[in-house]
């Protein structure tokens, strides 16, 4: 089974969120099952070393305004195909946003180019290698099925939705510059309320659609979660499936993690306290005797962190503390920095993106707060489970699928791993925090939650098999 993944991020090379973690981990998990995956990725500046070490396998005289080539290289165990198009991807800063925080003015060209080259490779542009199935990830790769259709190719495609909030919707005039056929503009293809939607195009034309948890797959068909594409999802429900994300167990392993001061296992859980002390020190927090909650997140309303600001006084009143690592919405960044000043010693906030610190937070915190209004899968609760950090989560999407609420029945039967709450309101969040604090006070119950979480299978094994069976079904057709 030969697979081409087309994506805009891949950890550890370039990452803005969970998409990168998934693209960095699934190929290895699929390789363990005998599949060969190549990942087509833009050659951003962060990939300069890999680009220099690779071999040119394709040259295009012109690709949306400049010359381009594809360079093959294997790095960190991943077979990368780097799309080297300096006029589109060789620029500083965020891969999607310019220095003012606005989308790059030519994002439609940049990611149409990625999709176009993905389709070229699928139809045999590389000598000696072509995929059996193409898996396009998120809107940045969503024009692959369209370009394949244009090329008259029947190479099967899977469109994977990592977050339907990001759709790649552009003004209709955009279409004229993308070299697309008229049918792309049809209402049952890419037209979206008078504009053109990359993601809708992919969802309408792909042979299969997958998303990153079963609960999110169901939610996507409802107006509350479909973000305007719920009708499309209902039309295509027969080809839609939800496969929960796993995590890279080599990177996120409390027994070997080089980024934390003290490694530990479920048997040596007491050693976690060394990390907790280090985390408190890093955030300038005193030891209150209460639980230390953490947040590692983009700061957006999706993540419900505006609600957490509202309930901070109640959290502190319970004797609990908060350490937050995040960046994103400027208003929220200021609000958390301000909260840390006002509640110094009880609340700490580091505004920024810091991969190593995110490991210390998972290793040191007692619990992690994830009050998301929607969460396609969520990875931070999976890391938390593995590090004996109890997840306190909104009951939505992948959070609902991966955390078992420690209600009375779950405690009696010994199967709880965290705290879930619904509806997703500030009040319910406050009550969930209170419940977590009460559980924390019962050391026997708390360590039961931690140990069960640590034993939960959060790797890729089961999900890699599910993806493989999806791909095999298409290949056999």
**Position 18 contacts ligand ADP (CB under 6 A):** yes
Q: How far is the C-alpha of 298 from the C-alpha of 157, rounded, in Å?
A: 30
Q: What residues contact residue 60 under an 8 Å CB cut-off, 6+ apart?
A: 67, 68, 69, 117, 120
Applying CB under 6 A, does 140 fall inside the site for ligand ADP? no
> Which is closer to ligand ADP, CB of 155 or CB of 299?
299
Cα dist from 145 to 80, 188, 231, whole Å: 21, 14, 20
**Residue 214 binding ligand ADP, by CB under 6 A:** no
Binding to ligand ADP, residues 160-179 (CB under 6 A)? 163
Residue 275 in 3-state DSSP? Answer: helix
Extract the tokens encoding 296: 């590692």
Which CB, 190 or 378, lies closer to ligand ADP? Answer: 378
Shortest Cβ distance from residue 392 to ligand ADP (Å)?
Answer: 14
Select from 2, 12, 17, 241 the one that contacts ligand ADP (CB under 6 A).
17
Q: Confirm or reject binding of residue 418 to ligand ADP (CB under 6 A).
A: no
Q: Token digits for 180? A: 């697309």
Piece of the chain touching ligand ADP by CB under 6 A; list 13-21, 259-267, 285-293, 408-416: 13-21
Could you say which of 167, 275, 297, 417 contacts ligand ADP (CB under 6 A)?
297
**Contact with ligand ADP (CB under 6 A): which of 5, 8, 9, 21?**
21
Pick 71 or 305: Cβ nearer ligand ADP? 305
Question: Should residue 253 be labelled a site residue for ligand ADP when binding is judged by CB under 6 A?
Answer: no
Q: Residues 277-296: x/- map of binding to ligand ADP (CB under 6 A)? A: -------------------x
CB-CB contact of 351 with 336 (8 Å): yes
Rounded CA-CA distance 476/471 in Å is: 9
- The most distant pair of C-alpha atoms in the chain lies apart, rounded to whole Å, by 67
For residue 33, the SS3 value is coil
Does 432 interact with ligand ADP (rule: CB under 6 A)?
no
* Smallest separation (angstroms) from ligand ADP to the CB of 257: 13
- Least Å distance, CB 122 to ligand ADP, is 26
Angle subtended by helix axes 426-441 and 443-455, to nearest 10: 110
CB of 136 to ligand ADP, least distance (A): 17
Q: According to the binding rule CB under 6 A, does residue 326 interact with ligand ADP?
A: yes
Closest by CA to 321, choosing from 336, 343, 305, 299, is 343
Least Å from the CB of residue 65 to ligand ADP: 30
Candidate residues 327, 425, 431, 447; the one interacting with ligand ADP per rule CB under 6 A: 327
How many of the chain's residues bind ligand ADP (CB under 6 A)? Answer: 18
Q: Encoding tokens for residue 161?
A: 């939705």
Which tokens sit at 283?
């955030």
What is d(CA 254, CA 289) in angstroms, rounded to the nearest whole number? 23
What are the angstrom distances between the C-alpha of 447 and each of 42, 148, 266, 415, 434?
Answer: 44, 53, 9, 12, 17
Verify cis geometry, omega within 30 degrees of 0, for the bond prior to 362.
no
Nearest residue relative to ligand ADP (C-beta) = 18
Closest CA to 297 of 326, 322, 323: 326
Interaction pattern, residues 341-380, with ligand ADP; x per rule: CB under 6 A: ------------xxx--x------------------xxxx
**Does residue 279 contact residue 394 with C-beta atoms inside 8 Å?**
no
In whole angstroms, the minimum distance from the beta carbon of 33 to ligand ADP comes to 23
Closest CB to ligand ADP among 298 and 435?
A: 298
Query: In the complex, which residues of this chain contact ligand ADP (CB under 6 A)?
Result: 17-18, 21, 163, 296-298, 325-327, 353-355, 358, 377-380
């Amino acid at each position: 089974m030969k697979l081409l993944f087309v994506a805009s991020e891949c950890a550890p090379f370039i990452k803005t969120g969970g998409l990168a973690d998934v693209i960095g981990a699934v190929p290895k998990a699929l390789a363990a099952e005998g599949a060969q995956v190549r990942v087509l990725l833009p050659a951003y500046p962060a990939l300069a070393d890999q680009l220099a070490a690779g071999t040119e396998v394709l040259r295009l005289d012109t690709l949306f305004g400049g010359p381009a080539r594809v360079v093959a290289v294997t790095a960190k165990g991943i077979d990368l195909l780097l799309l080297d198009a300096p006029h589109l991807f060789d620029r500083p800063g965020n891969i999607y946003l310019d220095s003012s925080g606005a989308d790059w003015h030519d994002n439609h060209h940049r990611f149409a180019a990625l999709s176009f080259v993905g389709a070229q490779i699928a139809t045999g542009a590389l000598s000696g290698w072509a995929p059996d199935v193409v898996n396009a990830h998120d809107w940045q790769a969503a024009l692959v099925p369209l370009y394949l259709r244009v090329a008259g190719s029947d190479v099967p495609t899977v469109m994977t939705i990592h977050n339907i909030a990001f759709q790649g919707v552009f003004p209709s005039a955009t279409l004229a510059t993308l070299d697309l056929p008229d049918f792309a503009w049809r209402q049952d293809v890419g037209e979206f309320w008078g504009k053109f939607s990359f993601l809708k195009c992919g969802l309408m034309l792909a042979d299969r659609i997958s998303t990153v948890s079963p609960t999110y797959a169901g939610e996507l068909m409802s107006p509350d979660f479909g973000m305007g594409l719920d009708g499309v999802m209902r039309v295509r429900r027969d080809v839609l499936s939800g496969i929960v994300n796993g995590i890279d167990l080599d990177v996120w392993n409390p027994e070997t993690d080089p980024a934390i001061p003290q490694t530990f296992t479920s048997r040596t859980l007491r050693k976690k306290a060394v990390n907790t002390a280090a985390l408190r020190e890093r955030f300038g927090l005193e030891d209150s005797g209460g639980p230390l909650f953490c947040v590692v997140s983009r700061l957006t309303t999706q993540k419900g962190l505006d609600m957490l600001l509202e309930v901070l006084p109640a959290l502190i009143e319970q004797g609990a503390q908060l350490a937050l690592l995040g960046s994103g919405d400027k208003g929220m960044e200021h609000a958390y920095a301000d909260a840390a000043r006002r509640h110094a010693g009880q609340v700490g906030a580091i505004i920024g993106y810091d991969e190593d610190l995110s490991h210390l937070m998972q290793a040191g915190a007692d619990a992690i707060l994830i009050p998301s209004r929607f969460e396609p899968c969520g990875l931070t609760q999976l890391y938390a489970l593995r590090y004996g950090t109890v997840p306190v989560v909104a009951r939505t999407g992948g959070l609902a699928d991966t955390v078992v609420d420690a209600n009375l029945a779950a405690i009696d039967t010994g199967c709880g791993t965290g705290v879930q709450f619904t509806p997703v309101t500030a009040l319910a969040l406050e009550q969930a925090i209170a419940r977590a604090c009460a559980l924390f006070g019962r050391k026997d119950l708390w360590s039961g939650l931690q140990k069960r979480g640590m034993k939960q299978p959060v790797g890729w094994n089961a999900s890699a098999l599910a993806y493989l069976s999806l791909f095999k079904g298409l290949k056999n057709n």
